[in-house]
Amino acid sequence: MSKIIVSPSILSADFANLERDIKLVEDAGADWLHVDVMDGHFVPNITIGVPVVKSVKKIAQIPLDVHLMIENPKKYVEPFAAAGADILTFHYEAVEPENIVELIKYIKSFDIMAGMSIKPKTTVDVTFPFLSYLDMILIMTVEPGFGGQKFMPDCAEKIKPIRELNRDIIVQVDGGINAETGKICRDYGANSLVAGSYIYSSDNIPDAIASLRI
Ligand code: DX5
Ligand code: ZN
């Protein structure tokens, strides 16, 4: 298995000191920065929008992994791509199935990577027709909306069939990831881990990031 892509979620950073907290994880060996965009409709919470992504892009040295927890993602692909997203992940539940391939192609037309995420109650089989089009599948192991929730082990089992069907796709997991739950996901075949509270609440961020790889 290739190197594990660690993507710290800046949702757990101090937004009044965002540059400091981004540099903290970059210096500690983070591969990507996970940016959680929430619209108050698809999920109850409201977080980061296009202007913040644009500002973060000016200071970030590593790719921006933008997780769109929003309704009507197509409308926001161009603005987030222009703001500097390197990976754009939409939710399966936010798009009519017959429009998904077109949306993936549209994201890729901006020369960025396309990801699709599924919520805990969505079955894994719905992703199968789209795997060959996608760069990444994001398996949610908590209900999207908030950081700091408890990992749902049943959701992690969805990694295995995806990895069996497709050896090349990036399988990312998000929600309640720490050294222990991250290992469960890696053993199922995940190769990208998002972690917010685990990394940002750690006294030793380089060690916390390294612990997600071993
Ligand atoms: C939850 C977000 C996650 C969140 C993860 O809706 O998608 O990216 O920041 O936070 P932790 O790692 O604390 O569960
Ligand atoms: Zn996320």
What is the H or E stretch that residue 26 is in? helix 18-27
Q: Is 111 among the catalytic positions?
A: no
Q: Mean pLDDT across the stretch 39-57?
A: 98
Is residue 210 within 8 A of residue 24, CB to CB? The reply is no
What was the pLDDT predicted at 176?
98
Non-local (6+) Cβ contacts of 101 within 8 A are 130, 133
Local confidence band at 214 (pLDDT 50, 70, 90 cut-offs): confident
pLDDT tens readout for residues 185-208: 999 999 999 999 999 999 999 999
- Residue 196 CA: which ligand is closest? 1
Average pLDDT over the chain, rounded to an integer: 97
Percent of the chain scoring above 70 in pLDDT: 99
Q: Mean pLDDT across the stretch 173-190?
A: 98
Q: Say whether pLDDT at 129 is over 50.
A: yes
Local confidence band at 158 (pLDDT 50, 70, 90 cut-offs): very high
Around ligand 1, the residues with Cβ closer than 6 Å are: 9, 11-12, 34, 36, 67, 142, 144-149, 174-177, 194-198
Helix, strand or coil, per DSSP, at residue 154: helix
Q: Mean pLDDT across the stretch 72-94?
A: 98
Q: Which of 36, 39, 65, 135 is an active site residue? A: 36
Q: Residue 133's closest CA among 153, 152, 151, 109? A: 109
Q: Say whether pLDDT at 137 is over 60.
A: yes
Local confidence band at 1 (pLDDT 50, 70, 90 cut-offs): very low
Is residue 1 within 8 A of residue 189, CB to CB? The reply is yes
What was the pLDDT predicted at 60?
98
Q: Is 174 among the catalytic positions?
A: yes
Looking at residue 130, its amino acid is: F
Local confidence band at 2 (pLDDT 50, 70, 90 cut-offs): low
Q: Mean pLDDT across the stretch 53-77?
A: 98
Q: Residue 3's closest CA among 40, 29, 22, 39? A: 29
Ligand 1 site-directed mutation target among 35, 194, 202, 209, most atoms within 8 Å of CB: 194
Q: Which of 21, 31, 39, 174 is an active site residue? A: 174
What was the pLDDT predicted at 26?
98
Report how far residue 83's alpha carbon sits from residue 124's, in angstroms, rounded to the nearest whole number: 31
Structure tokens at 52: 């913040």
pLDDT tens readout for residues 97-123: 999 999 999 999 999 999 999 999 999
Report how far residue 158's alpha carbon sits from residue 140's, in angstroms, rounded to the nearest whole number: 10
